[in-house]
Amino acid sequence: MEYGMYIVGAVIFGSYMYFTAWNIIVSGKTQKKENLKANEQEKIDYDGTGEFDASERAEATKIKQGKK
């Protein structure tokens, strides 16, 4: 009977460790896919002005209009 408890405990512990490792691996793959999609979307220039942030875009607009 005492060996049976060790066997049951080992099976429970082994399945816990298996599913924990499986969850880490699957989550890592999913996160990589999401990050690749996000990086691809950032490369698209929606407004056609190039890679400016908001302050650079405002300065470029002022220069085009002849204001300083």
Query: Which domain, by its residues, includes 55?
Result: 2-65
The CA-atom distances, in angstroms, between 29 and each of 3, 22, 33, 40 are: 39, 11, 6, 17
54 has a pLDDT exceeding 60: no
pTM of the model: 0.50
- Domain total of the chain: 1
Handedness of CA 48, 49, 53, 59 (dihedral sign): negative
Write down the pLDDT at residue 65.
63
Query: Tokens at residue 42, please?
Result: 């950032």
18 has a pLDDT exceeding 70: yes
Write down the pLDDT at residue 36.
79
Q: What is the pLDDT of residues 32-51, one digit of tens each?
A: 888 877 666 655 666 666 66
Query: Tokens at residue 7, please?
Result: 């066997």
Give the whole-angstrom CA distance, residue 38 versus residue 33. Answer: 9
